Amino acid sequence: MLEAQLVLVLVGSALLCLGAFAAIVSAIGFHRFKNFYLRLHAATVGTIWGSVYPLIGAALIAITISELGAYRWFVPGAIIVAAIIVLMLAPAGSHALARGVHRARVARVKPCLADKLDPELCG
């Protein structure tokens, strides 16, 4: 039992550390990329490794904490549902942003190899 708890805490901590690293890299990418569409890719790093993975890590750690009492299963359950919702809705937000910006011609694709959707917005 104790070994199982130790494994859960170690895996959970590893996921949390990965999340912290990914969040920082995502923030750096947000500043270094100068184009809207490239920033979307940096934001994706911050959503999946930066929030879904550490949420699952936090759930694994919460399972082992028996001091939570009546909330022992509420915390991991709520976290896992939150992780699944982020996983399904974050890309919907990215689609909406990308499609809206492209249709409204707010940002150009730059640098650009080709734009099959609207060649005028290339470059």
The footprint of another protein (CB under 8 A) covers 22, 25-26, 28-29, 32-33, 35, 37-38, 40-42, 44-45, 47-49, 70-78, 80-81, 87-88, 90-92, 94-95, 98-99, 102-103, 109, 111-117
How many alpha carbons lie under 13 Å from residue 76 in its C-beta half-sphere?
17
How many alpha carbons lie under 13 Å from residue 9 in its C-beta half-sphere?
9
Rounded least distance, CB 9 to another protein, Å: 19
Render the burial of 11-41: b for 16+ CB within 10 Å, e for the rest.
Answer: ebeebbeebeebbeebeebeeeeeebbbbbe
User: Residue type for 31, please?
Assistant: H
CB of 9 or CB of 87, closer to another protein: 87
CB of 9 or CB of 97, closer to another protein: 97
Rounded least distance, CB 91 to another protein, Å: 4
Rounded least distance, CB 66 to another protein, Å: 14
